Amino acid sequence: MAEAFQSPRGFHDILADDSRRFRRVSATIRRILESHGFEEIVLPVVEFADLFQRSIGENTDIVQKEMFIFKDRKGRILALRPEGTAGAVRAYIQHRLWTQRPYHRLFYEGPMFRYERPQAGRYRQFHQIGAEVFGSESPAADAELILMTEKILKELSISAEIQINSIGCRKCRPLYRKALLEFLEGVSSNLCRDCIERKEKNPLRVLDCKVDSCQEAVANAPATVDFLCDECKDHYKILREYLRESKVKFVENPRLVRGLDYYTRTVFEAISKKQETAVIAGGRYDYLVEELGGPPTPALGFAVGVERLMAELGKEGDQRHLYLVIPLGDALAYALRIAESLRKRGEAVEISLRRGGLKKQLEFADRIGASYAVMVGEDELRGGYYTLKDLKTGEQKRIEFGSSEDEG
Ligand code: ATP
Ligand code: MG
């Protein structure tokens, strides 16, 4: 045999069992998004690399070391998208969506690519479902996204803590930045090499560093909320009031920042207890539309890490609602008719292609996670019935083909 290929490092296959869990996560989130009026947009996986440099920020980890960049045949520099917001904003501007209605609620789903060191819950191709709201400055929009975050966690029975913070605007952020920089100078001997560099270019990023010694060093860093201007303070206060009114559980983390530069005011994360990392993350980006060439448009959004949510789920609820029809003896044509009539009723039905006697067939049904076995042999053919076995309870009964019981 020739030497077999392997998928590239960090690129994973989602095989049938996981893909079922993937669909469950995706369907739950899409249902919640649609119930809040969000509409899907399908965006390209490839964009000009510039788009990400300008939106996510030159000095972020994503742009500095995590992008898959390549030249096309004409020498244009393209990138596999590392996240969805930049593309959504690009599309919003390109299609002048603001001319259609005063504000938009959009969502997207698909693969993202980051050249990271692969480890548990961290891949080079992973999937996000993201929601974006364009054209609202109201804290009600922030509160709604956080409420939806909580709904997603609840519906999937995932235990995670929602942390929120406000990181201010153009007016007040520079004051905070200055205070933070002064603080960081004082603890710089405890910072990792990356952070010593980050500190000069974008000190807020130091707060987001995952290295333990950096986390310790910034434990007493100044809090963003102590530097907010009156407008930002009000915005944050009203957001918290709305969240309390909607009974959303959250904790304030005055040192929460995000790894992308475009955020303003509200930022939030759902941190999983099990994985000790963010499974859903988002915030406001009030200047991004303008910075990418559109009209000034307040906006906000969040992104769900699908693989990270999947890692939270148990296997329960993953049994397939599948009928395995087992033709025995010379009853194949009859078995096919029964299979087709079950499908007409809306059931998922597979005809067993396994060869062998009943015992082997039932073992096979078990192996593939079927819920029911439908046994069809010559007795069944002569009698005009089939034998239905519930594989969970072991209960077995005869069903007249075409009878009311057969019709379900
Ligand atoms: P982290 O701090 O874990 O690197 P991030 O701040 O880079 O995350 P975002 O850019 O905010 O993450 O992406 C939103 C969500 O996408 C994250 O909360 C996480 O659930 C998921 N995510 C990010 N990077 C990866 C990855 N390499 N593999 C799998 N999921 C990821
Ligand atoms: Mg990251």
Same domain, 252 and 155: yes
Ligand 2 centroid vs 259 CA: distance in angstroms? 7
- 140 in any annotated domain: yes
**Contact call for residues 105 and 301 (beta carbons, < 8 A):** no
Q: Which of 313, 339, 356 is the last residue of a domain?
A: 313
Q: Give the ligand 1 atom nearest the CA of 124.
A: 27
Distances (CA, A) of 14 to 63, 79, 306: 27, 23, 12
pLDDT of the residue at 317: 60
Residue 112, helix vs strand vs coil: strand
Ligand 2 centroid vs 271 CA: distance in angstroms? 14
Same domain, 379 and 249: no
- 200 in any annotated domain: no
Residue 352 DSSP class:
-
CB atoms within 10 A of CB 36: 15
Ligand 2 centroid vs 117 CA: distance in angstroms? 10
Q: Which of 256, 291, 313 is the last residue of a domain?
A: 313
Same domain, 308 and 331: no
Question: The tokens 């956080």 sit on which residue?
Answer: 146
Same domain, 339 and 277: no
Q: How far apart, in whole angstroms, are the C-alpha atoms of residue 363 and residue 353? A: 13
Q: What is the pLDDT of residues 101-114, one digit of tens each?
A: 999 999 999 999 99
pLDDT of the residue at 315: 67
Identify the residue whose C-alpha is closest to ligand 1 atom 22. 305
Same domain, 255 and 284: yes
Q: Give the ligand 1 atom nearest the CA of 279.
A: 20
Q: What is the pLDDT of residues 274-297, one digit of tens each?
A: 888 999 999 999 999 999 999 999
pLDDT of the residue at 75: 97
Q: How far apart, in whole angstroms, are the C-alpha atoms of residue 226 and residue 323? A: 61
pLDDT of the residue at 316: 64
- 204 in any annotated domain: no
Ligand 2 centroid vs 80 CA: distance in angstroms? 15
Q: Which of 279, 313, 347 is the last residue of a domain?
A: 313
Rg for the chain (alpha carbons), in Å? 27
pLDDT of the residue at 274: 87
When pLDDT is cut at 50, 70 and 90, the band that residue 403 belongs to is confident
Same domain, 26 and 142: yes
- Best CA proximity match to 300, nearest among 46, 35, 30, 92: 92
Does residue 407 register a pLDDT over 80? Answer: no
Same domain, 346 and 307: no
- 349 in any annotated domain: yes
Backbone angles phi, psi at 188, to 5 degrees: -60, -25
| Number of separate domains in the chain | 2
Same domain, 278 and 327: no
pLDDT of the residue at 201: 86
CATH code, 240: 3.30.930.10
- 217 in any annotated domain: no
CATH code, 351: 3.40.50.800
pLDDT of the residue at 384: 95
- 181 in any annotated domain: no
Percent of the chain with pLDDT over 90: 86
Residue 24 is encoded by which pair of tokens? 């469950």
Q: What is the pLDDT of residues 122-164, one digit of tens each?
A: 999 999 999 999 999 999 999 999 999 999 999 999 999 999 9
CB of 116 within 6 A of ligand 1: the answer is yes
CB of 294 within 6 A of ligand 1: the answer is no
Same domain, 309 and 331: no
- 406 in any annotated domain: no
Does residue 408 register a pLDDT over 70? Answer: no
pLDDT (average), residues 390-395: 95
Domain coverage including residue 331: 322-400
Percent of the chain with pLDDT over 70: 99
Same domain, 65 and 133: yes
- 357 in any annotated domain: yes
Same domain, 110 and 65: yes
Note the pTM of the prediction, 2 decimals. 0.92
Side by side, the strands of the sheet bearing 396-400 are 348-351, 322-327, 372-376, 385-390, 396-400
Q: Which ligand is nearest to the CA of 128?
A: 1
Return mean pLDDT, the chain: 94
Same domain, 288 and 383: no
Q: What is the pLDDT of residues 298-356, one digit of tens each?
A: 999 999 999 999 999 876 666 678 999 999 999 999 999 999 999 999 999 999 999 88
pLDDT of the residue at 138: 98
